[in-house]
Amino acid sequence: MPRSAYERSKGVESVTWREFPLGKGIALSILDESSAAGRQQKGQRLLDVLDEAAGLPPCKLTVADRPQRHRTRAGKLELKTYGYYRIAWESSPQRGTIRIYNLTAIRQQVLAPKVFLETLLHEWVHHYDFTGLQLDRSPHTSGFFARIRDLAETLGVGFVTPPKREVPSAAPAEDVVVARPDRLQPGGKPPPQWIRDQVLALFGHPRT
């Protein structure tokens, strides 16, 4: 990862607004929703407010009424995905989308309201990083989590965010997918195996 992107992410601890986002009522109303359809409708309204106030391109929300993607080992939960952010990258970042799973991984219960809202804010900060800060990566730095807390405080829902987090490394965020028109990543690197696996799953295996 380019150090400049990591250092810039680490050094910015707040969101810069062109106008104050009047989304507190919408954010609080999301806490009263449990259905995927209701959360998607109100969540999209909040994203629209945030995008307009920050001067960002639109970000589309999908709330999937299905269990979180997860992986188990020896019958125990090893990894789960609350949601992810996807950005289409051409000459500049555009067409951001957020997907959040409405059911928990194992018990398939409705995701807790606070967890859902924090996940929504988390993924929107990835959108802000790409389209607002113009970063080519959006790592989970200490600055990234500070921006989530700042956003939550701005909306009056600071109680939904966890305590300050420590960032173990500068590894790329696993909940971010950057879709580029070229098949190779910058520097001529082939796409990682998990992306190739998804392509094969969608379009089938090549003929032998």
pLDDT in tens, 123-169: 999 999 999 999 989 999 999 999 999 999 999 999 999 877 766 65
Q: Residue 144 belongs to what domain range?
A: 3-203
Average pLDDT over residues 95-108: 90
Examine residue 90 and state whether it is found in any structural domain, yes or no.
yes
The pair of structure tokens assigned to 66 is 């299905």
Q: Is the pLDDT of residue 194 over 70?
A: no
Examine residue 208 and state whether it is found in any structural domain, yes or no.
no
Residue type, 75: G
Examine residue 176 and state whether it is found in any structural domain, yes or no.
yes
Can you give the pLDDT at residue 106?
A: 77
The pair of structure tokens assigned to 106 is 């194992």
Can you give the pLDDT at residue 66?
A: 92
Number of other residues whose CB lies within 10 A of the CB of residue 34:
13
Closest CA to 175 of 64, 66, 87, 46: 87
The pair of structure tokens assigned to 80 is 């789960």
Average pLDDT over residues 79-102: 83
Can you give the pLDDT at residue 105?
A: 81
Can you give the pLDDT at residue 69?
A: 74
**Better pLDDT: 82 or 134:** 134
Q: What are phi and psi of 16, to 5 degrees?
A: -95, 125
Question: Interhelix angle for 142-154 vs 3-11, to 10°?
Answer: 40
> pTM score, two decimals?
0.81
Task: Give the rounded distance of the alpha carbon of 125 from its chain centre.
Answer: 7
Examine residue 161 and state whether it is found in any structural domain, yes or no.
yes
Examine residue 134 and state whether it is found in any structural domain, yes or no.
yes
Distance between CA atoms of 16 and 158, rounded to whole angstroms?
Answer: 17
Mean pLDDT (the chain) is: 83
Examine residue 148 and state whether it is found in any structural domain, yes or no.
yes
- The model's confidence at residue 72, banded by pLDDT at 50, 70 and 90, is low
Distance between CA atoms of 13 and 63, rounded to whole angstroms?
Answer: 28
**Residue 87, beta-bridge partner list:** 96, 178
DSSP assignment string, 64-128:
EEEEPEEEEETTEEEEEE-EEEEEEESSSEEEEEEEEEEE-SSS-PBPPHHHHHHHHHHHHHHHH
Task: Give the H/E segment covering residue 61.
Answer: strand 59-67
Can you give the pLDDT at residue 186?
A: 38
Report the number of distinct structural domains present in the chain. Answer: 1
Examine residue 121 and state whether it is found in any structural domain, yes or no.
yes
DSSP 48: H
Can you give the pLDDT at residue 203?
A: 46
Percent pLDDT > 90 in the chain is 60
**Better pLDDT: 55 or 205:** 55
Examine residue 125 and state whether it is found in any structural domain, yes or no.
yes
